[in-house]
Amino acid sequence: MRLHFLVIDPQTDGGHCPAMQLDEETGDLAFVGETITDPDDLAQLQASSGISSGESGVRIPRRMRRLVLEKLLELEAEDPTVP
């Protein structure tokens, strides 16, 4: 996977922080965030979409929602052929 940095939490101190990257070969997104460990939250994720082995839930802070949206809109504008 060839990852290209897109955006990082603006309130980070530079390490271990929420971020989003793009796999330039596939167009997939990779997120770095706090691993969800709360049993109730995990149960809700499992009930709604399932969590397979090899998958995990990650939490991205609210303050990053607009940044993530802006980057996604930029990506779509660059390649409008993506379904």
pLDDT per residue as tens digits for the range 16-43: 789 999 999 998 999 999 999 999 999 9
Residue 82: the pLDDT is 64
Residue 50, amino acid: G
Task: Using DSSP, state whether 36 is helix, strand or coil.
Answer: coil
Query: At 41, phi and psi to the nearest 5?
Result: -65, -45
What is the distance of C-alpha 13 from the center of its chain? 19
pTM for the model stands at 0.81
